[in-house]
Structure 1
Amino acid sequence: MNRAYWAGRHTVVTGGTSGIGLATTRALLDAGAHVTAIGLADDAAIRLAAEQHDNLLVAPADVRREDDLSAAFKDARTHFGAVRSLICCAGITKPGYFTDLTTDDHRRHMEVNYFGTLFAVQQAIPDLMADGHGTADGRGSITCVSSAAGFLGVFGYGAYAPSKFAVSGLCEVLRQELGPRGVTVTVVYPPDVDTPMLAGETPLKPPELRALSSGENALSADQVAQALITGTETGRPRVIPGASTRLLRFASGAAPGLLARYMDRVIARVQRNPEVPSP
């Protein structure tokens, strides 16, 4: 971590009170950043606020609601001044067979995962593009957490994967448009991560999805946060935590047919005998 990059830098972290977002918030606080952690008004937010860091503001907001985010960003600027970095970690997942997912399930994934990211970016952009950032590195930055399911469709993620593909597409457009204006854009593609979200989704996974993504070798939230932070401060357009995730990303581009056939075989094996785990 480049502490000189983060020292005094006002950074907004959506989903900053739980999971990857919380790990990111803690790492940035340790690096001397001024952090506004946006999260739902729940026990996690109360616990984090109770720690009373001088360089932390916990701002309750539902990222689906533009008015909530507008109020949170207003409070953030009042406390710490203009926003210099935005890190979007807020997200949800509800795995299941496509035929069992409701229209509301699909809509909620897009509202939280995609529009929650989009609304936060819209709030931050005026500050990020302003001249004279007053930090060791004057660049503004946007970092958005997508998923390995944001570059590879996965059985059982019929609502989740499309919303994460949308985040990936948004980041590529932002990178092209904002790079010439001094704002770096980074998209992060984590695999399974040991967070409350993974704990909540695991019992809902169909057996085919468990065979493809068991969660047994999940990365820690701290590992992903460190990769995210390093990628942000160096301006990397893509961060893919974990060697197996990087291999999967390579295979999805270099040999998509081969990868698809492998996944189809795993799915077929489970469907023939759901009680037998697949490799």
Structure 2
Amino acid sequence: MAHVIITGGSSGIGAALARASAARGDDVTVIARTEAALAAQREALVSEFGKHGQRFAAQPADVGDAATLGSAIQQCERELGPCDTLITSAGIVIPGRFESVTSEEFENQIRINLLGTVNAVRAVYPGMKARRRGQILMVGSGLSLIGVYGYTAYCASKYAVAGFAEALRAEARPYGVTVSICFPPDTETPQLLAERSLRPPEAHAAIGAGGMRSADEVARAALAGLHRGRFAIYPGLQMKMLGMFGSVALPFLRPWFDRRILLVKRTSKGSD
């Protein structure tokens, strides 16, 4: 029985990963900012899986605050034991054309998506190295693989997470610590519902080609890849093709996206 710590574990993909980990028989700690949502998630896990002798904990923390997150993870490990698997799923997205995204909004996406991932890893990595075992799964995005209109901040943060995962994988491997990153497409979550209302129409035209998955589908694919020791995990055929052949395809995809964006702009002008 492993102890799995999940940031962003009260909602969306993080909540689905918590349920899927519990279904595997693991002890699970969920971390998020909203205490009410955390309490509800823990109660749901206890109700469904607690009869099997598993243990569940919840700790409130802002992943962008390294000290607070570190303290929360220390408390988790005191309650349920050392972290065997860390899953970093906390993230935010505020789409919008670059000039309309405020500096605060841009920086907050970097703080939560990139530094929040780094902060969580920093809290467990020394222990994993000392024990010479451990798993780290970072939840990236399909937009870690291709830049999309209206997502300058989010793409910057998620590209950086992918680079961090790639470099850390090389450092961690000799110590028995595996690093993986999942690249989900659009996923049915509360965050997506809020995000879609803010997307520029040009972004809708581009992202629609990436497919849609449920949070449970993404969670199952992510955990299957993690436990098979895969570094890059691509839920769905579109993400797999982009991940495996993106460097070859991007010179052809960019003009295709450009044409779709121009078409949207012409259509919107025609309706003005």
1:127 aligns with 2:122: no
Question: Which residue in 1 is equivalent to 2:70?
Answer: 70
Amino acid across the alignment from 2:116: G
CA contact (8 A) 1:114 1:163 kept: yes
The whole-number CA distance in structure 2 between the counterparts of 1:216 and 1:154 is: 11
Q: What is the Cα deviation at residue 58 of structure 1?
A: 0.9
Question: Which residue in 1 is equivalent to 2:222?
Answer: 228
SS at match of 2:260: helix
Q: What is the Cα deviation at residue 274 of structure 1?
A: 2.9
The whole-number CA distance in structure 1 between the counterparts of 2:269 and 2:202 is: 11
Amino acid across the alignment from 1:48: Q
CA contact (8 A) 1:251 1:259 kept: no
The whole-number CA distance in structure 2 between the counterparts of 1:251 and 1:270 is: 27
CA contact (8 A) 1:192 1:215 kept: no
The whole-number CA distance in structure 2 between the counterparts of 1:251 and 1:156 is: 24
The whole-number CA distance in structure 1 between the counterparts of 2:208 and 2:145 is: 18
Question: Which residue in 1 is equivalent to 2:28?
Answer: 35
Q: Which runs of 5+ in 2 are unaligned?
A: none
Question: Which residue in 2 is equivalent to 1:109?
Answer: 109
SS at match of 2:31: strand
1:245 aligns with 2:207: no
SS at match of 2:4: strand
The whole-number CA distance in structure 2 between the counterparts of 1:208 and 1:80 is: 47
CA contact (8 A) 1:207 1:274 kept: no
CA contact (8 A) 1:88 1:143 kept: yes
Question: Which residue in 2 is equivalent to 1:3?
Answer: none
SS at match of 2:257: helix
The whole-number CA distance in structure 2 between the counterparts of 1:156 and 1:50 is: 38
The whole-number CA distance in structure 1 between the counterparts of 2:124 and 2:5 is: 9
Question: Which residue in 2 is equivalent to 1:96?
Answer: 96
The whole-number CA distance in structure 2 between the counterparts of 1:42 and 1:152 is: 34
The whole-number CA distance in structure 2 between the counterparts of 1:256 and 1:210 is: 19
Matched residue count: 263
User: C-alpha offsets along residues 111-141 of structure 1, whole Å, 9 cap, x if unaligned?
Assistant: 0000000000000102211237xxxxxx311
Say which of 199, 203, 208 aligns to 2:202: 208
Q: Which runs of 5+ in 1 are unaligned?
A: 1-7, 133-138
The whole-number CA distance in structure 2 between the counterparts of 1:239 and 1:217 is: 16
Amino acid across the alignment from 2:178: T
Q: What is the Cα deviation at residue 68 of structure 1?
A: 1.6
Question: Which residue in 2 is equivalent to 1:154?
Answer: 148
CA contact (8 A) 2:30 2:42 kept: no
1:11 aligns with 2:11: no
Amino acid across the alignment from 2:260: V
Amino acid across the alignment from 2:93: T
